[in-house]
Amino acid sequence: MSCLGWFKRRRSRSGGSSTSTSGKRGASASAPVSVSGPATTMTTTTMASAVSTSRSDDSGAVRPVSKSAGSSSQASQRSISSLYEERGHGQLRVFDYEELQGATAEFSRAQKLGEGGFGSVYKGFIRAADGKGDRVPVAVKKLNQRSMQGHKQWLAEVQFLGVLEHPNLVKLLGYCAVDSERGPQRLLVYEFMPNKSLEDHLFRRANPPLSWNKRLQVILGAAEGLAYLHEGVEVQVIYRDFKTSNILLDKDFRAKLSDFGLAREGPTGENTHVSTAVVGTHGYAAPEYMESGHLTAKSDVWSFGVVLYEILTGRRSLDRNKPAAEQKLLEWVVQFPPDSRNFRMIMDPRLRGEYSVKAAREIAKLADSCLLKNAKERPTMSEVVEVLRRAVQAHAEPDSRTPGGPGAKGKKSSDAATPSRR
């Protein structure tokens, strides 16, 4: 039985890349590739074709091809699919379904770490492929069988994370794809991240608040991960779902970007953007993307600006539990510009004043530059990384005179003591 039965290959007249002949989903025709076996090993051709199709299907319109681009330049363009064929598929382990079932105590509710649009994530314990050594913890993501979008995200994650490798990206260890009487089973196995997500530490009171230094460490790591996607790979990758819940934290609180199901390859040649359906999380998506479906790396930069303000304020981008005037974070913080006397009004009270006011102002200015309406005026992620590195190096420790900070001893902070004129 084919595990990719409903995904068909789609070839353009100009060279075999996936294209759409109409605005409708599934407007393609070709024979599906059959996959068999208890623990399905997908061929690289199958994986590349399926993922390419899933990316075009999410929008009904694929990346436009520049009319002025020559056929030779088109032929030389790299893609995630070609990179995966070259080196990605050999790095991933193919798991038996029964092995993952046993590793998670039959996907026990007690082992459940979380749930999303894709499906549920469970903690499990596995041994090395040779069966030797102690069992190590992993996170097993199990597809909701009723989710077509989840299936496409599963394919995309295997493709992207089979190629991408960086200290600030979560590591995909392997996958499982098998058809049975229970229906298609699609699973992903990741390294386990013991400190959960940035969202857990910023917004959930059950967890202790992140210190100022840890916040700087986390956001710098996340920025370095995004910069790698945008500028450090042969193919530009647009993450498209940058938010606090997708920033996972390892045992040392190193940030690692997770969930690449919505990632897209960036524009190539003379193209300025990728055209897609608008997906992602409300409150993080860039306005030009929301309005037009035009996706660029600067769309990720906008999302990064939103998360910078969440780091500073300890507030969600959208919180219906706040008073009406404070529910939308970006509309609220604009009342307290970085250079204003009452800027400190936005700072997370859980920091208890133990932060560098000067660094906080610099980070707020950086956030404002990421949130410029004109996408072309926003910084690149490599520029963002440089600003954050300087802030971390110069102002990691709390100000000695910050109220409540070390060394305060009752002294008044000259930066924040003046009453607001508003």
Please work out, in degrees rounded to the nearest 5, the angle formed at the alpha carbon of residue 341 by the alpha carbons of 337 and 343.
45
Half-sphere exposure of residue 167: CA atoms within 13 angstroms, side-chain side: 8
173 lies in the same domain as 229 = no
Per the structure, the complete domain to which residue 109 belongs is given by 82-191
- The two three-digit tokens of residue 187, written as one number: 């699973």
Nearest residue to 157 via CA among 194, 117, 123: 117
204 lies in the same domain as 353 = yes
pLDDT digits (tens, 9 = 90+) for 136-170: 999 999 988 776 566 778 888 998 999 999 999 99
- Continuous segment of H or E residues that includes residue 1: none
The answer to whether 58 is annotated as binding is: no
Instruction: Give yes or no for a contact between 191 and 173, defined as CB atoms under 8 angstroms apart.
Output: yes
Domain end among 162, 191, 220: 191
pLDDT digits (tens, 9 = 90+) for 180-232: 777 788 999 999 999 999 999 999 988 889 999 999 999 999 999 999 999 98
The answer to whether 130 is annotated as binding is: no
The answer to whether 142 is annotated as binding is: yes
274 lies in the same domain as 157 = no
Cα separations (Å) of 296 from 169, 275, 300?
20, 9, 8
pLDDT at 25: 30
Domain end among 191, 209, 244: 191
240 lies in the same domain as 385 = yes
306 lies in the same domain as 327 = yes
pLDDT digits (tens, 9 = 90+) for 17-31: 333 333 333 333 333
CATH number of the domain within which 311 lies: 1.10.510.10
Instruction: Please give the backbone phi and psi of residue 177, each rounded to the nearest 5 degrees, phi first.
Output: -140, 115
228 lies in the same domain as 375 = yes
User: Rounded distance, CA 332 to CA 310, Å?
Assistant: 12
- The two three-digit tokens of residue 209, written as one number: 């608040």
267 lies in the same domain as 154 = no
pLDDT at 122: 97
The residue annotated as part of the active site, out of 58, 241, 348, 399, is 241
Q: Is 57 a catalytic residue?
A: no
Counting the structural domains of the chain, the total is: 2
249 lies in the same domain as 141 = no
Instruction: Give yes or no for a contact between 42 and 35, defined as CB atoms under 8 angstroms apart.
Output: yes
pLDDT digits (tens, 9 = 90+) for 101-123: 999 999 999 999 988 767 899 99
User: Rounded distance, CA 382 to CA 409, Å?
Assistant: 39
pLDDT at 50: 37
The string of DSSP letters for 71-110 reads HHHHHH---HHHHIIIIIGGGSEEPPHHHHHHHTTTT-GG
100 lies in the same domain as 162 = yes
225 lies in the same domain as 324 = yes
The answer, as to whether pTM is greater than 0.75, is yes
User: Rounded distance, CA 238 to CA 300, Å?
Assistant: 7
127 lies in the same domain as 210 = no
